[in-house]
Amino acid sequence: MRPTEIEALIDEMTLEEQVSLLSGEDFWSVAAVERVGVGKLRVTDGPNGARGGGSLIGGVKSASFPVGIALGASWNTDLVEQIGAALADEVKSKGAHMLLAPTVNIHRSVTNGRNFECYSEDPLLAAELAVAYIKGLQEKGVGATIKHFAGNESEIERTTISSVIDERSLREVYLVPFEWAVKKAGTWGVMTAYNKLNGTFASEHPWLLEEVLRKQWGFSGIVMSDWFGSHSTAETVNAGLDLEMPGPTRDRGEKLIAAVEAGTVSRETIRDRVRAMLTVMDRTGAIADFAPHAEKAEDRPEHRALIRRAGAEAAVLLKNVGVLPLFGKNRIAVIGPNAKTAQIMGGGSAQLNPHYAVSPWEGLVAAAGEGRLSYAQGCTNHRFEPTAKGDYSVQYFANRTLSGDPVFSETLDEAQAFWIGRIAEGKVDPLSFSARISGSFTPEVSGTYRVGVYSAGFAKVYVDGVLVADAWSDWEKGRTYFEEGCDEVVGEAKLEAGRAHEVVVEYATKDYASLGIAAFHLGIGLPLGPEAIAEAAGVAADADVALVFIGRNGQWDTEGSDLDAIALPGAQNDLVAAVAAANRKTVVVLQTGGPVEMPWIGEVAAVLQAWYPGQEAGNAIADVLFGHADPGGRLPQSFPVTWSDNPAHSQDPMVYPGQDGEVHYREGVFVGYRHYDKHGIAPLFPFGFGLSYTDFSLSDFVVEDGRFEAEGVVEVSVRVTNTGHRAGSCVVQLYVHDHEAALPRPEKELKAFGKTTLGPGASEVMALRLDARAFAFFDPEEGCWTVEPGVFSLRLGTSSEELPLEAKIERATGLTLPA
Ligand code: BGC
């Protein structure tokens, strides 16, 4: 539509109709205004797939792509753009118009629960990948909603905390991916963060939304709140928040009409917000979408192939002493809690119901045949007891006390539920009901089982009529269900093999703090003891090579909760040590959403970090282990030796996790490798590091600085040669060092990179370009970017610590660029 047509449409709408477009109708959509021919806008999470309009659990199946940190590790903008395009198909298959993605918050702390969802500790890497992802999506007419703007670098008290960040750090680090997304990819959507930024909720922050986003960067899309992240009427509307999500509205509707009538919001401001909505609805086709909502599961072969390739491109080979790739007919011991369980994604709103999930065991069976494999689990790594599976019947009561007759019944195929939106066919209020969930548990082995329950709402668990776990009487807020749930309450029950033990959960909603969620999870598990580790060591001793699949899962790497530590959970360190002592060809395959401490690093032959690579996990991992694919990943985050080496780790709780409602980013711009450089701390594995199965040399480093003085532009080229005997990929990284500056600057900053895949003996000249911003710092006094006169070094290589090529350039004058 032309701008004049949009204006005419706004003129035609009543104030009520205009206001109806500024808040959700339900969890995932905005109501149509049929009278004037405006269709319905639908959105979906995001970012590693398109889940569709259901709950976080179950729902129509979707393609599961590698998580954000895995895409960060790929350093491959072409690949990420292809993933964006594939996601556009997925969004369309779910009848939606916008994807709630990408997530680009910065890896400030290694313990952030959402590290897995975000790309990197480095703003440039995160920004370049976000641009590629958004282009892929939007070229197919699906809107991106880059999130969470801004300062959501931790999950602790995220809906209330104030992130206190100085302007220079915001501009140089935290805002960069958003800025690039607006300026270089023209993102159609931005989602505000839950938290406050310097004392004001991001959803009602005029400086952030109007001054920076719209005026300085030229944003012309919509700004929407994070779910339940709007806390006011006039303030959010006036500050520039177009859409309150989800619906039904808490802050707008009649309240907003009253605010207009009272004069606290002008009709012109309403027009601005409606204009943004209609513009984006036009771009995405939502404006003409009156079709009944339909969701399809489209398991496409081209998506399978892309996901498998991406998994290998993201896998980072951290150590390899002559053991990988596997070849010959060797006998392989397959060990560890992640071997037979496919860990494909993190937890929270990014969760979806995948078409399928290939475990490492299945990938290895397909690659090598089961005859060569032996198996032992060794230990567990779960955070919560394993979900109780089997048929569970649910009786719903239209009160919070399980009284009277149930008003609705249904069956679950496991003992967990996440109730949002319309439930029990509308017969109960989703925020005020109770339920009795009944089923049975038949163990294969007799023993003393752990029975664990956690819930957003109250829950009690009875086994054979005996109360075993009580998350009702002394319910306390914990770190589950986005901080609306309690921590897991665990009891014990002696259970007999082969006997069906009756299991009943009584559940009731409670008043929520911030997010209207009703949910519970019941887990029943038998702990594994030291004998399981001894058995695994025995299996390893009998094999030629031992593969140990360890790490975390989406219970740990999840939205709504930060990690307490970065040590591997459970007895996994003991397991690796025991296996490595039994077999010197021990290969650790790590799946986590961020760094872990590796006390056994000197004892093992190889370590491969495979992240959460999506539904093809096991196949992608097997491709790398057997050398059908080169390990293409390079670390998007520094891996410290211990947690205390990390920039956000501090004796001062104000720095992390925060205190009295505030978290202070006191390390300033010194995040990630900038911190390790500043304090002279050697990381376990540096930012940008990762091995290939082949070798590369870099030569013919040419720096063309003829335009440096006038425009700040420098062209660089380098010859990359594969000097090994296999095809493989090389990530070339270019860092800038400012020799002298008015403000303390990092020792070096990544300013350009490129990835190339070359056959044995092949060589290529790679060109990289730096513009003035690559040399600038943000001057908070002047409110602009400054390139000072003086000498700059360009350092080029294959990781932040391996930079063999260096050139110096100098400029005589300064340069300033607007904010
Ligand atoms: C998350 C968002 C997500 C939204 C909708 C929130 O809890 O922070 O990233 O898009 O829920 O599911």
pLDDT digits (tens, 9 = 90+) for 704-760: 999 999 999 999 999 999 999 999 999 999 999 999 999 999 999 999 999 999 999
Question: How far is Cα 102 from Cα 133, in angstroms, rounded to an integer?
Answer: 7
- Which of 67, 100, 156, 345 for mutating ligand 1's site (highest number of atoms within 8 Å of CB)? 100
Question: How far is Cα 187 from Cα 167, in angstroms, rounded to an integer?
Answer: 23
Task: With H, G, I as helix, E, B as strand and everything else as coil, classify residue 272.
Answer: helix
The answer to whether 693 touches 323, Cβ cutoff 8 Å, is no
pLDDT digits (tens, 9 = 90+) for 20-41: 999 999 999 999 999 999 999 9
- Ligand 1: residue whose CA is nearest its atom 6: 227
Determine the residue type at 20. Answer: S
- By C-alpha distance, which of 554, 501, 617, 610 is closest to 384? 554
Q: Is 166 a catalytic residue?
A: no
Q: In sequence order, what are the residues at sequence separation of 6 or more whose Cβ sits closer than 8 angstroms to the Cβ of residue 435?
A: 394, 395, 396, 397, 402, 506, 507, 508
98-99/41-44 β-pairing: parallel
Does the pLDDT value for residue 66 go beyond 90?
yes
Question: How far is Cα 394 from Cα 406, in angstroms, rounded to an integer?
Answer: 9
The full set of domain ranges for the chain reads 389-525, 696-818
Query: What residues are paired with 432 via a beta bridge?
Result: 429
Q: What is the mean pLDDT of residues 74-92?
A: 98
Q: Give the pLDDT confidence score for residue 116 in this predicted structure.
A: 98
Query: What residues are paired with 791 via a beta bridge?
Result: 810
The proportion of the chain whose per-residue pLDDT surpasses 70, expressed as a percent, equals: 100
Q: What is the mean pLDDT of residues 107-119?
A: 97
Does the pLDDT value for residue 246 go beyond 90?
yes
Task: With H, G, I as helix, E, B as strand and everything else as coil, classify residue 262.
Answer: helix
Q: What is the mean pLDDT of residues 493-502?
A: 97
- Ligand 1: residue whose CA is nearest its atom 8: 226
Element (H, E) at 554: none
The CA 330 to ligand 1 mean position distance, Å, reads: 46
The answer to whether 131 touches 185, Cβ cutoff 8 Å, is yes
Determine the residue type at 625. Answer: L
Q: In sequence order, what are the residues at sequence separation of 6 or more whose Cβ sits closer than 8 angstroms to the Cβ of residue 284?
A: 41, 97, 98, 141, 142, 143, 188
Determine the residue type at 525. Answer: G
CATH class of 696-818: mainly beta
The pocket around ligand 1, CB under 6 angstroms, is made up of: 45-46, 100, 147, 226-227, 349, 482
Question: How far is Cα 370 from Cα 264, in angstroms, rounded to an integer?
Answer: 70
Does the pLDDT value for residue 328 go beyond 80?
no
CA atoms within 13 A on the CB side of 89: 16
- Which of 51, 227, 484, 517 for mutating ligand 1's site (highest number of atoms within 8 Å of CB)? 227
Q: Give the pLDDT confidence score for residue 420 in this predicted structure.
A: 83
Task: With H, G, I as helix, E, B as strand and everything else as coil, classify residue 487.
Answer: coil
Does the pLDDT value for residue 245 go beyond 90?
yes
- Which of 43, 45, 57, 118 for mutating ligand 1's site (highest number of atoms within 8 Å of CB)? 45
Does the pLDDT value for residue 433 go beyond 90?
yes
Q: Which CATH architecture has domain 389-525?
A: Sandwich (2.60)
Q: In Å, what is the CA distance from 461 to each residue of 495, 496, 517?
A: 15, 18, 20
Q: Give the pLDDT confidence score for residue 513 in this predicted structure.
A: 75
CA 515 to chain centre: 20
**Neighbouring C-beta atoms of residue 330, cutoff 10 Å:** 12
Does the pLDDT value for residue 514 go beyond 80?
no
The CA 100 to ligand 1 mean position distance, Å, reads: 8
162-164/200-201 β-pairing: unpaired
Q: In Å, what is the CA distance from 392 to each residue of 412, 434, 545?
A: 5, 15, 42
Atom of ligand 1 nearest to the CA of 117: 9
Q: State residue 113 phi and psi, 5-degree precision.
A: -60, -25
Q: Give the pLDDT confidence score for residue 790 in this predicted structure.
A: 98
Query: What residues are paired with 43 via a beta bridge?
Result: 98
Q: What is the mean pLDDT of residues 661-671?
A: 97
Please report the sign of the dihedral spanned by the C-alpha atoms of residue 283, residue 286, residue 289, residue 294.
Answer: positive
The answer to whether 343 touches 556, Cβ cutoff 8 Å, is no
Q: Give the pLDDT confidence score for residue 20 in this predicted structure.
A: 98
Does the pLDDT value for residue 329 go beyond 90?
no
Confidence band of 483 (pLDDT split at 50, 70, 90):
confident
| H-state helical runs in 315-450 | 360-368
The CA 226 to ligand 1 mean position distance, Å, reads: 6
Q: Which of 56-60, 355-359, 400-404 has the lowest mean pLDDT?
A: 56-60
Does the pLDDT value for residue 701 go beyond 80?
yes
Please report the sign of the dihedral spanned by the C-alpha atoms of residue 420, residue 426, residue 431, residue 433.
Answer: negative
**Neighbouring C-beta atoms of residue 302, cutoff 10 Å:** 10
Does the pLDDT value for residue 516 go beyond 90?
no
Does the pLDDT value for residue 327 go beyond 90?
no
- Ligand 1: residue whose CA is nearest its atom 12: 349
Q: Give the pLDDT confidence score for residue 237 in this predicted structure.
A: 98
The answer to whether 367 touches 622, Cβ cutoff 8 Å, is yes
Q: Give the pLDDT confidence score for residue 422 in this predicted structure.
A: 83
Average pLDDT, rounded, for the chain: 97
